[in-house]
Amino acid sequence: MNLIDILKCAKDNDASDIHLIAGHPPVMRVHTVMTAMDLPVLTNEDCLKFLTQMAPKEAQERFVSNKDADFSFFADGLARYRVNVHMQRSKLAFAMRIVKTKVPPLENLNLPEVITRLTYLPRGLVLVTGDTGSGKSTTLAAMIQAMNERYAKHIITLEDPVEYTFNSNKCLIEQRELGSDMPSFASALKHALRQDPDIILVGEMRDLETTQLAITAAETGHLVLSTLHTCSASQTVERIIDMYPANQQNQIRSMLANTLQAVISQTLFSRIDAPGMVPAVEVLLATPAVRNLIRENRTFEIPNVIETSRALGMCTLDKSIAELYFNGMVSRDDAIASANMPDKLEKLLAA
């Protein structure tokens, strides 16, 4: 089996993901739907060959030790791929996310205009959240590229693995990959503060130490962009606070209230009016009212503030979904299935 034939088939079908599992034909995800390719069943020998073709030596060594490894792979003329290799039923398997090599302009992503305004922030913490595959990396890459075209600043990205690759335009951009360029997010973030950055992208705030350092970096005058796997703005704030021991939570509420600038929560939908995907986006901006709610441990009131602050650029996820439905972009069933409050949205769509 030829790996390039598989990758070309996925590209021709505009797939977002590829799954290569010994004992199965190659499978691709096209607009959220899993579809088998019209190709032969893969053998374990095929998958071993793919491993040596795609994985750098360090990733191969991690796989031998851990039976799991993450790495990135670039196929000339096709795309860049975020890859996980693992074992299942004692055979090799790959999950590959296709990363577009060209960073899309922010204005082409169907995102709220307020997100463009966030790229003008001089400092603070901006979080892009959502499930895996919700477009977080694309949104962050487009924000970085917008700043790259506007400012003469120093940007450091810490990623697992590097997805979009940037050419330094007006900015000087350094991209560091977990494993090959740094041992951990926390270690790289600690050292990044001594590397004269203006803007730091942290691929994910996945543990307490990384979260502490990201907030510290935002406190000390840097603009920090990062992600969390949360589905709403209020849940994002609560997740960060809950990472800390109980005796430190009052302190982190104060720090977070001072540094947080915005939370963008995304969900992707298959379009019904055209091929492709479209995001529904909840936007929380850290106004004085929101900062007070965080300090006073009243995060349960954040959805009400978002609801009543539309004029400032805030938007609830359900309102964003409703707009997509009324604009003919998503189906009624998909809209209701992804809503935070399905019953309320169902009544709104029926009005």
Task: Find the mean pLDDT for residues 185-199.
Answer: 96
Task: Find the mean pLDDT for residues 26-48.
Answer: 94
- Enter the DSSP assignment of 338: T
* Domains present along the chain, CATH in parentheses: 3-99 (3.30.450.90), 106-350 (3.40.50.300)
Task: Find the mean pLDDT for residues 204-232.
Answer: 96
Task: Find the mean pLDDT for residues 193-220.
Answer: 96
Res. 331 pLDDT band, cuts 50 70 90: very high
Calpha distance 98→8 (Å, rounded): 12
Of the candidates 139, 142, 121, which has an alpha carbon nearest to the alpha carbon of residue 130? 139
Calpha distance 42→23 (Å, rounded): 6
**Rg of the chain's alpha carbons, rounded to an integer?**
21
C-beta atoms surrounding 108 within 10 Å: 8
Res. 176 pLDDT band, cuts 50 70 90: very high
Task: Find the mean pLDDT for residues 191-203.
Answer: 96
Q: Cβ distance 204 to 226 under 8 Å? A: yes
C-beta atoms surrounding 302 within 10 Å: 23
Token pair belonging to 143? 């924000």
Output the average pLDDT for the chain. Answer: 95
Task: Find the mean pLDDT for residues 28-55.
Answer: 95
Task: Using DSSP bridges, classify how beta strands 154-159 and 199-202 pair: parallel, antiparallel or unpaired.
Answer: parallel
Res. 275: pLDDT tops 90: no
Res. 308: pLDDT tops 80: yes
pLDDT at residue 101, rounded to an integer: 72
Q: Cβ distance 25 to 39 under 8 Å? A: yes
Res. 178 pLDDT band, cuts 50 70 90: confident
Res. 147 pLDDT band, cuts 50 70 90: very high
The residue count for the chain: 351
Burial class (CB in 10 A: 0-12, 13-18, 19+), 283: buried
In tens, the pLDDT along 110-135 reads 999 999 999 999 999 999 999 988 99
Res. 350: pLDDT tops 90: no
Res. 295: pLDDT tops 90: yes
C-beta atoms surrounding 198 within 10 Å: 18
Res. 179 pLDDT band, cuts 50 70 90: confident
In tens, the pLDDT along 80-115 reads 899 999 999 999 999 999 987 789 999 999 999 999
Task: Find the mean pLDDT for residues 158-164.
Answer: 87
Q: What percent of the chain has pLDDT over 90?
A: 90
Of the candidates 151, 129, 153, which has an alpha carbon nearest to the alpha carbon of residue 140? 129
pLDDT at residue 132, rounded to an integer: 85
pLDDT at residue 351, rounded to an integer: 73
Q: Cβ distance 330 to 269 under 8 Å? A: yes
DSSP lists the bridge partners of residue 232 as none
Task: Find the mean pLDDT for residues 58-64.
Answer: 93
Backbone angles phi, psi at 296, to 5 degrees: -90, 10
Res. 32 pLDDT band, cuts 50 70 90: confident
